[in-house]
Amino acid sequence: IVHSSAPVAASPNPLTNNPAAPRIARNVNTHPQNKIFARISVGKSNPYINEQIPLSLKVYHKGNLRSLNIPPLKLDNFISEKSDKAKEYQETEGIDDYLVYEIDFMLFPVKAGTLAIPSNQIKAIVLEDNNNLTLGNFDPFRMMNPFLIEREIELETNALQLTVKDLPKGAPKGFSGYVGELAVNHTLKQNSVKAGEALSIQTKLYGSGDPSSIDTNLIHESKLYSVFKDKESSREEVNNSIKYFELITNTAIIASKSTGKLAIETKPIISFNPKTGQYESHGGQRFEIEVLPNTDDSSESENEPALATKENGSKKKVVATKEIFVIPD
């Protein structure tokens, strides 16, 4: 999760950025009675601390919008992330139909209490009727419609206030601060392994919180096996304005030389679910595998020559001969 910092520009079609466009006048439009106005809204006004809440910035217009310049929103006391894609659609406001340009943000409040999101200013260039058009200044070869002029206006969004709740006391041991829905699934690829060889446990995590607060080293250490973190992959998707992540990790387990039953345990992940208001435990599992003798053991190295069988059945050592290279001075 990163802080939103770069100005946001409208998409090239049908809205185009045109920094060189003439700036003729400046108006402040905040009311739906105007042909263009801006509004912000949040999906939840009383979230828990660290809970993801969606924020939408909508610009309503009548098809007369040429470009937008949206500076970074004032989002103190929040970690914020802007969606990569804007939405464009039609919406009815009162009795009027508007075209809407929407940019979505994901917010994570970092403190409890009353938090304010102040109004934000947005600059836009719109097309308006050219009421000063006369025959003398009419240019039939002008690329833009001569009956329209470009005008720079300034939009101002509404302000919002959120009441952020602290997490309940009595968090279980091992809680690392993850707030959101979470599902954890471990899959053991095989039920047996030869001594000294590796087996794999795949872990899938799916949730709506901040994955950076999750420790993905989920296999308990043991003297009976070694643990090696392998491949890790992730992806994200937005569903009903909430951003979800899927994280897949693979862990290699190498059993010791001993044979027999081997138990492998995974560490539970403690989360807080804002929908239920409860702390929850996920993914604490115990796997039992069979460690088999390794008949393919190639531990007999060049320093430990293999044993050959004599005709009478006894063993004799076979000394390996090597060619010695002498490096001249």
Of the candidates 104, 90, 101, 84, the one whose C-alpha atom is nearest the C-alpha of residue 155 is: 101
Beta strands 192-194 and 286-292, pairing class: parallel
Q: How far apart are CA 93 and CA 97, in angstroms?
A: 6
- C-alpha distances out from residue 161 to 45, 46, 117, Å: 7, 9, 6
Q: Are 105 and 81 in contact (CB under 8 A)?
A: yes
Task: Give the position of tokens 């894609």.
Answer: 85
Residue with tokens 């435990």: 281
Q: How many residues does the chain have?
A: 329
pLDDT digits (tens), the chain, 329 positions:
433 444 444 333 334 344 444 443 444 444 444 578 999 999 999 999 999 999 999 999 988 888 899 888 899 999 999 988 899 999 998 888 999 999 999 999 999 999 999 999 999 998 876 655 444 444 454 445 556 678 889 999 999 999 999 999 999 999 999 999 999 999 998 889 888 888 999 999 999 999 999 999 999 988 889 999 887 899 999 988 899 999 999 999 998 778 889 999 999 999 999 999 999 999 999 999 999 988 765 544 444 444 444 455 555 554 444 444 444 44
Sign of CA dihedral 102, 103, 104, 109: negative
| HEC profile of 9-47 | ECCCCCCCCCCCCCCCCCCEECCCCCCCEEEEEECCCCC
Q: For residue 284, what are the CA distances in angstroms to 67, 186, 189, 201?
A: 52, 9, 17, 13
Residue entry with tokens 């979470």 = 182
**Sequential DSSP letters for 122-142:** EEEEEEEE-TT--GGG--TT-
Look at residue 213 and give its three-state secondary structure.
helix
145: tokens are 């419609």
- The model's pTM: 0.72
Query: Which tokens sit at 154?
Result: 């300034």
